Structure 1
Amino acid sequence: MKPSRRRFLQLGGGLAATLATARTLHSAPLEVIEMRGTPRGERIWFSPVGLAVAPGTVLRFVNRDPVNSHTATAYHPENFDRKRRIPLKASPWDSGFLLPEESFEVVLDVPGVYDYHCIPHEMAGMVGRIVVGQPDTPGFEDASSASDDLPPGALEVFPAVPDILARGRIEGDAG
Structure 2
Amino acid sequence: MSLSAAEFEVHMLNKDAAGNTMVFEPAFLQIAPGDTVTFIPTDKGHNAETIKGMFPEGGNEFKGKVNEQFSVTFDVAGAYGYKCAPHFAMGMVGLIVVGEDPANLADLQAARVPPKAKAKFDELVAQIGQ
Which residue is equivalent to 2:37? Answer: 59
Following superposition, the deviation at residue 91 of structure 1 comes to 2.4
Following superposition, the deviation at residue 46 of structure 1 comes to 0.3
Higher CA-based Rg: 1
Following superposition, the deviation at residue 145 of structure 1 comes to 1.6
1:49 aligns with 2:27: yes
Q: Are the counterparts in 2 of residues 131 and 165 from structure 1 also a CA contact under 8 Å?
A: no
1:165 aligns with 2:95: no
Alignment CA distance shift 1:38-1:160 (3 Å): closer
What pairs with 1:96-107 in structure 2 (closer than 5 Å)?
A: 96-98=65-67, 102-107=68-73
Q: Which of 125, 129, 132 is the matching residue for 2:91?
A: 125
What pairs with 1:131-170 in structure 2 (closer than 5 Å)?
A: 131-135=97-101, 140-142=103-105, 143-147=107-111, 149-158=112-121, 159-166=123-130
Percent identity of paired positions between Structure 1 and Structure 2:
32
Which residue is equivalent to 1:116? Answer: 82
Q: Are the counterparts in 1 of residues 10 and 38 from structure 2 also a CA contact under 8 Å?
A: yes
Following superposition, the deviation at residue 37 of structure 1 comes to 1.1
What are the ranges of 5 or more consecutive residues in structure 1 without an aligned counterpart?
1-23, 77-83, 167-175
Counterpart of 2:127 in 1: which secondary structure?
A: helix
Which residue is equivalent to 2:51? Answer: 75
Higher strand share: 2
Structure 1 stretches of at least 4 aligned residues deviating more than 3 Å after TM superposition: 24-27
Letter in 2 for 1:111: A
